[in-house]
Each structure stands twice: as structure tokens, then as C-alpha cells.
Amino acid sequence: MNFKHTLVIFRKELMEVLRDKRTIFTTFILPIILYPLIIVGFNSVMMRQTKVLEERGATIAVQDSVDNEISHRLIQGLVRIKNYTFLPYNESTKQHYAEKDIQCIVTIRDSLGSEGTQFFKIYITYDKSKDQSRIVYEKLSKQLSKVEKELQQERLQISGLSPDFLNLVDIRERDTSSAQKKMGMFLGMFLPYIVIMMLFAGASIVAADLVAGEKERKTLETLLVSSVGRTEIVMGKYLTIITLAMLNMIVNLFSISFSLQFMLANQSKEMSGVTLPINAMLILLIAMIPLATLFAALLVSISTFSRNIKEARSYEQPLLMIAMLMGMVSFIPTIEISNLLAIVPVVNIALLFKAVLINEYTLSHILITIISTLVLDLIAILITVKLFKTESVLFRTEEESGGIKVLKKKPKYALTPYNGIVYFTIALILLYYLGGYWQTKDLYNGLIQTELIIIALPVFIVLKLLKLKPKEILRFKTPKPAGLILVPFIAISASIIVSIMSQLINTIFPYPEKYTEALTQLFNMNEAPWKVFLAIALLPGICEELLFRGFLIRFFEKYGLQWAVIISAILFAAFHLDPFRFVPVLLLGFLLGYLALRSGSVYTSMLSHIINNGLAFILVTYSNSSWVKFLVSEGDNIHYWLFIPALVVFVISLYAFHKVTAQGEEVCVE
């Protein structure tokens, strides 16, 4: 690679970008103006409004059912509140209250305590959903407490006791956190999210334009025939995006944090003059660079794949959504960065950001975050260079998305990735709403209905409509006996491996209790064991394999069989609508996809799926038998030592399966 050429491209791209007034405006000028305006302006308006509400008068009706000296004293206390008008309660009060002429009704009643002493019950009727009404309530109750205190003091004096007689406990707080740390905590809540979004926004300002834009304006050809290599072109564009993303992020970061500091200083004296330490800011900026490079690499690949800017922009959206969801982790109060979380892209930066702001981070977290992001970045940029060198991608012309029009013309070509995603989305919506409805009505029958009517039946209807042969498309083919015999070994060992992995995940992110309860409920349906087996092992094994390894996998085969397996597994995992089981189900999806494609028969993956689900069923249902106890420890966990033998069995049986299925199969993975 000629780095000089990369620099030439980088310089020229940057010059072009910086000459675009819109880019300059959105990247630099807007954030500088916007945040002070939003944060400081909003805050001062809010404070003013609160003040206005505080000072605003109110009309309160008072019903005194006791009418003695003390109740009079209470009412006198209330009347002292500034700007408030007090009216006696009468027949029209309720109507006035309904018409909002009266904001509050105070009712004083009395009652006898256990020792025969009189005490007062005061009811304050108000509308809690109204800001003003709430303020009135707070003022009234505060004032009443004050009067109560006075009355208590008087009583104590009459009894000849000191006014301090009742002061038994005095609670005082001693806060060890510094003002700086408090500010860090406050900023750490949402600053990471905003900064990650800004990094993405800055990157996407130019990304679509850089390759897809060159295609659209027909300048790409001239660049490709010049004596600069394709890797150098990609790197030049990539550097441009990184630079813009970082610039945008830095401008935003400083503008937001200054505005917020200003706002906080205005709100409390403690915060005035407090600033974030410069070294924290520097650490954050350095940690953000790998993320910027990762975003840049992903966005260049999108731009390379897209035929025009519009298309690139629409492909950027899903990526933005994923980044947004992952960045939102900073809003969750209890999650803190750990060595494991430091591997997860975006999430690691968000959490690291939070940790650095409150000054509780370790060097290892920073290093793991940076290195893991850089590794992903490296993979992404290698893929991008590969894409850029692939003619069919760089010069993609035909509309390949599919859609209804293609369906009508050529049903044979209906199995496009686009249509696959559409089909999956519809199935997912049906599962969520219809399946969810059925299962809340009756769990057992709901499960069976879901599998048969939502998952399996539509596959056959669609194939019928498209006039495609189910036997051929869904791979209804008798597998080789030798391969089939190996499936139980593969399935059981894989099941154990995956279960142990999810147990490990569970120790790091414990499942919520409710979730575990819901899972147990699934196994403890009041049905005969064979019926439970039918609903949670047999039917899911058959129906879900029909949908995922039979039907949906076909939509993605044009990307190559490996990708078909990977994409169908991702969809399979997403279909379970369960973030806690996403990774385990994904791994099973890889295995099931491999089994089906390698053997050319969906029956192999069905068998494996049934065994996997059946194993879970057996372990729970027969948890008291001695051989299950041998496998499972207290608390329903599989013994960790089983991992090693399971892994050995898995590797051997999978290898054997691979060998056995090798001959005479028209399709094979790898």
C-alpha cells in the first residue's frame, strides 16, 4: 500500500467536505449554538416556570368538622400562606373543584386514639397529575406539619418537659463523593449515549457520499483507472470518515459538557466551578478513536455496497438503530464495566465513558475496550477492501430486492433476501401478537397453535402459492443412516456445551427472577409428560426447522451457503424474542443450519432440534431421578466438568458427520 496516495485522497476528500457549507454547519456550528440554547435556555425557562407556579395563588376550600381550638389553630396556620385564598366548604365546593376554580379541598376530622386522646385527621383532596395542584398540596402539608410542631412544643411545655424531649434521633448525611464525581455521575447517565450518536452522525455525514456518491456522479471510474490501488482508495475514504466523526464528536462533547456544567453550577452552589478533569476527557477521546474507526469501516462498506446515496442512507439506518440500542446501556443504572463487557462493541465505550467520568476505571478496561474494538475494526476494514475489489458489488446495477412485482413475474426468483426478511418480519409480528394472545389465554394450547398455525402452516401456503415443490425447497430427503445415527451424539453434546455457556452468562448477567419463573412455568404445565414433550420438544423441532432450516435459509443462499446458515441462525435467535437466550440459540442455529445443509436433509436438523429441546424437558421433568442428579447439580445447573467430555464427543461426532456426509451430497458447507 502506498500511504502517500492514501494521504492525497484523504486531503482531497477533506477539502471537499470542508467546502460544503451544510457539512460545516451541521458538524461545527450547529452543536456550538444548539446545546447552550437547548440546555441553558431550557433550564432557565424551566426554573422560571417553577418559580411562577410557586408564586401563583390558589383557592382552597376548608371543611372543619371539628371546630375546636386546635382545628382553628391549624386553619390559622394555613391562612398564613402567601397568595392563597381559603373559603369555607359549602354545597357548591365540589362543583367548583370539578370546574377547577378550587385547586384543593382540606377536610379536618377528629378521632379518638387508643388512650382516649383526641387526634386529627386531615384529608387534602387534589389532582396529582397537575403541577400546580401538586405544589399546592406540598405547601399545605408542609405548613400543617409546621403547625403540628408548634402544637407539640406547647404540649410539652405544659407537661413540663423540655422541647427536645421528642428529638430522639437526628439523621444527617455525610457525603464522601466530591462535587466532581457527582457531576461525573450525572453526565455519565446520558453523555455516553449522546457522544456515541454524534460519532455515528459525524461519520454518516460523509460516508454515503464518499463511495455511493462517486458512483452516482460517475467519478468512481476515473479514480479506479488512475494509478492508485483500491486499498489506498478505501483507506483514504476511511480516514476522512474517522476524522469527521471525531471532529463532530469532539465539538459536540465539549459543547454539551460545558453547557451542562454551566447549568449544574447555576442550580446548586456545590457544583459551581466544578469541571471535568482534562485527563478524563483525554482518555475518553482516545478510547473513542477505535469506535470511530469501526463506524467508519462499517459505513464505507455500506457506501461501497450501495448504488447511490439514497440507498446508502437507508442501509445506514439499521446500523444506527443497533448502535443506539447498544449505547443506551449507559441509562441502565446498575451495569458497570467489567472485563467481559469491555469486549462488547459500543456497550464497552458507553460503560467506560461512565466509569471514567466518575473516576472508577482500570487500565485493563480501557485496553480491552480499545483492543477489542480495533480487532472488529480490522475485520470490518478487511471486508470493506474485499467488497471494494469485488466487481459485482462495486458495479451493482440490477434491482435485486425482489418484492411483489418479482413474485408475480417469476415465482422462482421469489426467494430473495429482501423477501426473506419481509416473510420473517410478518411471522415475527404474528408470533408476538397472535401467538402471545393465544399463550396468555391458554399456555399449552397456545404453544401448539403457535407452532402449527404461525410457524409451519404459512410455509406450505406460500410454497403452494408460488407453485414451488415443498419436497425440493424444504429438503425433505431421507438422510444417510450413518449421518442420522451421529445426530443424537452431536445434539446432546452441543446441548450440554450451550447450556453450560448460558449458565456462565447467567452468572455474569443474572436473569431476572420473573424470567426464571416464566421458564419454570413452561415445564410445569399441568399436563401429562408426553403432552408437555409434544408442545416443547417435538412440535418446535419439526415446525421451527421447517421455517428456518427448510424455508427461510433458501432466501439467503445466493450469498453462499455459509451466509445462509449465519443469517438463518440470527433470524432464528431473534425469533425467540428473548435477549437472555440470544447467544445460546444463535449457536444452536449455526449447528442446525450446518446439519441441514451438509446432509441435504431437513430431517437431520429436526432430529437435533427435538433432542435439544427434549433434553431440557427431561432434565426438568425427571429432576429427582438419580441419573439426572448425576448430570445436574443443585439449582438446576449442569455440572461444569461435563463441558470437557461434551466438547470431546461434540468434536468427534461432528467430524465423523462431516466425513460421512461428504460423498454424494450436492450441497456442502465450507
Partner 1 sequence: MIKVDNLSKVFIKKDGTNFYAVNKINFEAGDGEIVCLLGVNGAGKTTTMRVLSTIFQPSEGSAEIQGWDIRKHPDKVRENIGFLSGDTGLYNRLSCREFITYFGHLYSIEDQLIEQRIKVMADLLDMNEFLDKKIEFLSSGMKQKVSIVRSIIHDPPVMIFDEPTAGLDILTARNIVSFIRDCKQRGKCVLFSTHIMREAERLADRIVMIHKGKILADGTLEELRNISSQIDLDDIFVYYINQHTDEQELRANEF
Give residues with Cβ within 8 angstroms of 192, minimum separation 6: 327, 330, 349, 350, 351, 353, 354
Q: Is 648 exposed, middle or buried (0-12, 13-18, 19+ CB in 10 A)?
A: exposed
Q: Which stretch binds partner 1 (CB under 8 A): 87-95, 374-382, 393-401, 498-506?
A: 393-401
Question: Considering the rule CB under 8 A, would residue 307 count as an interface residue with partner 1?
Answer: no
Q: Which of 21/174 has CB closer to partner 1?
A: 21
Q: Is 296 exposed, middle or buried (0-12, 13-18, 19+ CB in 10 A)?
A: buried
Q: Shortest gap between Cβ of 348 and partner 1 (angstroms)?
A: 37
Q: Which of 7/274 has CB closer to partner 1?
A: 7
| Number of residues located near partner 1, criterion CB under 8 A | 30
The span from the first CA to the last CA of the chain, in angstroms, equals: 30
Quick one: DSSP state of residue 632? B
Query: Between residue 332 and residue 391, which ones bind partner 1 under the rule CB under 8 A?
Result: 391
At residue 85, φ and ψ (nearest 5 deg) are -105, 135
Q: Which of 4/659 has CB closer to partner 1?
A: 4
Query: Between residue 402 and residue 441, which ones bind partner 1 under the rule CB under 8 A?
Result: 412-413
Identify the sign of the CA torsion 12, 15, 18, 21.
negative
Tell me which of 217, 409, 471, 659 binds partner 1, using CB under 8 A.
217
Residue 200: Cβ within 10 Å count: 26
Q: Which stretch binds partner 1 (CB under 8 A): 33-41, 216-224, 508-516, 531-539?
A: 216-224
CA distance 249 to 668: 46
Tell me which of 98, 171, 225, 508 binds partner 1, using CB under 8 A.
225
Q: Count H helices and E strands in the chain, helices first.
A: 32, 4
Q: Is 606 exposed, middle or buried (0-12, 13-18, 19+ CB in 10 A)?
A: buried
Q: Which stretch binds partner 1 (CB under 8 A): 223-231, 379-387, 461-469, 594-602?
A: 223-231
Question: Considering the rule CB under 8 A, would residue 398 count as an interface residue with partner 1?
Answer: yes
- What is the separation of C-alpha 43 from the centre of its chain, rounded to a whole number of angstroms? 29
Residue located via cell numbers 453450560: 500
Question: Considering the rule CB under 8 A, would residue 4 count as an interface residue with partner 1?
Answer: yes
Q: Which stretch binds partner 1 (CB under 8 A): 227-235, 352-360, 535-543, 599-607?
A: 227-235
Tell me which of 54, 55, 400, 636 binds partner 1, using CB under 8 A.
400
Q: Which stretch binds partner 1 (CB under 8 A): 1-9, 311-319, 537-545, 635-643?
A: 1-9
Q: Which of 8/324 has CB closer to partner 1?
A: 8
Q: Which of 56/217 has CB closer to partner 1?
A: 217
Question: Considering the rule CB under 8 A, would residue 15 count as an interface residue with partner 1?
Answer: yes
Q: Which of 162/222 has CB closer to partner 1?
A: 222
Tell me which of 128, 172, 218, 514 binds partner 1, using CB under 8 A.
218
Looking from the CA of 418 toward its CB, the CA atoms found within 13 Å total 12
Q: Which of 19/172 has CB closer to partner 1?
A: 19
Q: Which of 19/174 has CB closer to partner 1?
A: 19
Q: Shortest gap between Cβ of 391 and partner 1 (angstroms)?
A: 6
Question: Considering the rule CB under 8 A, would residue 467 count as an interface residue with partner 1?
Answer: no
x-marked contacts with partner 1 along 16-35 as a string, rule CB under 8 A? x--xx---------------
Question: Considering the rule CB under 8 A, would residue 392 count as an interface residue with partner 1?
Answer: yes
Tell me which of 111, 141, 226, 362 binds partner 1, using CB under 8 A.
226
Tell me which of 224, 281, 335, 407 binds partner 1, using CB under 8 A.
224
Q: Shortest gap between Cβ of 31 and partner 1 (angstroms)?
A: 23
Quick one: DSSP state of residue 549? I
Give residues with Cβ within 8 angstroms of 130, minimum separation 6: 103
Of 270, 260, 276, 232, the residue nearest 10 (C-alpha): 232
Q: Which stretch binds partner 1 (CB under 8 A): 175-183, 218-226, 516-524, 619-627?
A: 218-226
Give residues with Cβ within 8 angstroms of 242, minimum separation 6: 203, 289, 292, 293, 296
Q: Shortest gap between Cβ of 21 and partner 1 (angstroms)?
A: 10
Residue-level length of the chain: 670
Q: Strands 84-88 and 58-64, how do they pair?
A: parallel
Q: Shortest gap between Cβ of 49 and partner 1 (angstroms)?
A: 46
Q: Shortest gap between Cβ of 8 and partner 1 (angstroms)?
A: 4
Q: Shortest gap between Cβ of 620 and partner 1 (angstroms)?
A: 47
Question: Considering the rule CB under 8 A, would residue 666 count as an interface residue with partner 1?
Answer: no
Q: Shortest gap between Cβ of 225 and partner 1 (angstroms)?
A: 4
Q: Strands 118-125 and 104-112, how do they pair?
A: antiparallel
Cell numbers for 117, please give them: 386522646
Give residues with Cβ within 8 angstroms of 145, minimum separation 6: none
Question: Considering the rule CB under 8 A, would residue 130 count as an interface residue with partner 1?
Answer: no
Q: Which of 54/400 has CB closer to partner 1?
A: 400
Q: Shortest gap between Cβ of 28 and partner 1 (angstroms)?
A: 17
Give residues with Cβ within 8 angstroms of 341, minimum separation 6: 335, 347, 348, 351
Q: Which stretch binds partner 1 (CB under 8 A): 48-56, 254-262, 349-357, 394-402?
A: 394-402
8 A C-beta contact, residue 32 and residue 255 = yes
Q: Shortest gap between Cβ of 18 and partner 1 (angstroms)?
A: 9
Q: Which of 388/580 has CB closer to partner 1?
A: 388
Question: Considering the rule CB under 8 A, would residue 157 count as an interface residue with partner 1?
Answer: no
The one-letter amino acid code at 272 reads S
Between vectors from CA 488 to CA 487 and to CA 490, what angle results, nearest 5°? 65
Give residues with Cβ within 8 angstroms of 431, minimum separation 6: 450, 454, 455, 575, 577
CA distance 406 to 402: 5
CA distance 318 to 643: 37
CA distances from 257 to 6, 192, 273, 552 (A): 35, 11, 13, 48
- The residues of the shown chain that bind partner 1, judged by CB under 8 A, are 2, 4-5, 8-9, 12, 15-16, 19-20, 214, 217-219, 221-229, 391-392, 395, 398, 400, 412-413
